[in-house]
Amino acid sequence: MTHKNFDAIVVGAGMSGNAAAYTMARRGLRVLQLERGEYAGSKNVQGAIMYANMLETIIPDFRNDAPLERHLVEQRFWIMDDTSHTGMHYRSDDFNELSPNRYTIIRAQFDKWFSRKVREAGGTILCETTATELARDSGGKVIGVHTDRAGDVIQADVVVLAEGVNGLLGTRAGLRETPKPENVALAVKEMHFLPEEVIAERFGITGDEGCVIEAAGTISRGMPGLGFLYTNRESISLGIGCLVSGLAATMEKPYDLLDGFKRHPSVRPLIAGSEVKEYAAHLIPEGGFKAIPQLFGDGWVVVGDAAQLNNAVHREGSNLAMVSGRMAGESISLIKSRGKPMTKQNLSLYKAMLDKSFVMQDLRKYKDMPSLLHTNSRSFFMTYPQLISHAAKNFLRVDGTPKIEMEKATTAAFIKARSRWGLLSDAVRLAFAWR
């Protein structure tokens, strides 16, 4: 079996891979995309919220036929202890705009659609094909990939590594490190199906409107972690993620955490009577700016989760993947149109574009956040949520205790748990990491 040479090989058909393949195919490049699943999306897992702007830049009229679930009009943040939650809700009718800002999606369906767009743009997609190794010439330049299909190396001028957080190609070739346990979270998720009208009633939404709940606190049992609940049209995506280093240290079982979250009195009524149709697990890059590897080299670039491009603070990942994929595609197309080779020096254009974008600016802004949450996880995910819950309860319960005594008790509880110096220091460090 011989292969004609391609301008570019894209490894993976997730958000970043599809964005890169589509961008290059639209510009007339001969693109081969490899996907190890039965179809694009069959190996991909996300919460999932999709930010419209980043897709709009790639496919302006995506709303015509993309499989979208609900556009979000309400966001709830919950701080939880074992029996309560203290929440902040933001809901606005302004989100019911003509071109909504963000949607819930189901990745297997969405990725199938995105992959069809790549094919329509002229890209060649080879599914059920696992890329096993990068092929390099004697000078170390990447010249293609080996796959588990019979045949020679598939050659191309450049390989776009869109292989996800657990990508083997780049790590095996020494282009980047395997993620460290403290830089990735393991998220487990279930799909809970309920009739559309039941979801609408429970969340106070109508039509295509959607609601999101994100929750932190004792549900992660002292580990850095986050629970989430996203409304789709006829289902709820419900999951929880914790740092792998935290799980290994506490020996907590991820599905026990998920069950605990589901049984929480604030969550249980929202999913009561649902039928669970899938259980999924996935790693999420959490290392932030400091964990970003070398992004380009001779004959290769790395995009999306494989490049650790995830903003954990704002829970943005797939949009950074789309932007990095698009910029990789644009820079490769530009180099190609100038008739230049895909050298490290020329491909640095990709990094330059990314540096100028919000992607790197946002990640740089929060560069100290991962280590702060990691070293103070018990305070942030156990002690403070419990204190906040007690404070709210003290504030609301009416039992004849004078208010001044209740306030004193609340203040005393905070000082007892963290000390004055500890409280001040946490506040200052949080402020600096956020700045």
Q: Which of 29, 106, 226, 323 binds another protein (CB under 8 A)?
A: 106
The crossing angle, in degrees rounded to 10, of helices 107-120 and 15-26 is 20
Residues that bind another protein (rule: CB under 8 A) add up to a total of: 54
CB 327 → another protein: shortest distance, Å? Answer: 25
Q: Which of 137, 201, 234, 256 binds another protein (CB under 8 A)?
A: 256
Dist CA 152 CA 165 (whole Å) = 27
CA distances from 78 to 219, 241, 266, 434 (A): 11, 15, 10, 19
CA distances from 420 to 373, 382, 391, 423 (A): 19, 18, 17, 5
Q: Which of 107, 176, 326, 351 binds another protein (CB under 8 A)?
A: 107
- Per CB under 8 A, does 353 bind another protein? no
CB 262 → another protein: shortest distance, Å? Answer: 9
Q: What is the DSSP letter of 45?
A: -
Cα torsion angle, 312, 313, 318, 324, sign: negative
- Per CB under 8 A, does 259 bind another protein? yes
- Per CB under 8 A, does 279 bind another protein? yes
For residue 397, what are the contacts with CB-CB under 8 A and spacing of at least 6? none
CB 274 → another protein: shortest distance, Å? Answer: 12
Of residues 22-81, which lie at the interface with another protein (CB under 8 A)? Answer: 36-38, 41-46, 48
Relative to beta strand 235-243, strand 225-231 is antiparallel
- Closer to another protein by CB, 191 or 303: give it: 191
CB 234 → another protein: shortest distance, Å? Answer: 11
Cα torsion angle, 361, 365, 367, 370, sign: negative
- Per CB under 8 A, does 239 bind another protein? no
- Per CB under 8 A, does 253 bind another protein? yes
CB 384 → another protein: shortest distance, Å? Answer: 25
Of residues 171-200, which lie at the interface with another protein (CB under 8 A)? Answer: 178-181, 184, 186, 188, 190-191
CA dihedral 202, 203, 208, 209 (to 10 degrees): 170
- Per CB under 8 A, does 124 bind another protein? no
Any idea which residue has 């979801």 for tokens?
Answer: 199
CB 152 → another protein: shortest distance, Å? Answer: 17
- Closer to another protein by CB, 236 or 328: give it: 236
Any idea which residue has 């000082």 for tokens?
Answer: 415
- Spatial contact of 84 and 392, defined as CB atoms under 8 Å apart: yes
**110: helix, coil or strand?**
helix
- Per CB under 8 A, does 266 bind another protein? no
Footprint on this chain of another protein (rule: CB under 8 A): 36-38, 41-46, 48, 106-109, 111, 127-130, 147-149, 165-166, 168, 178-181, 184, 186, 188, 190-191, 235, 244, 247-248, 251-256, 259, 263, 276-283
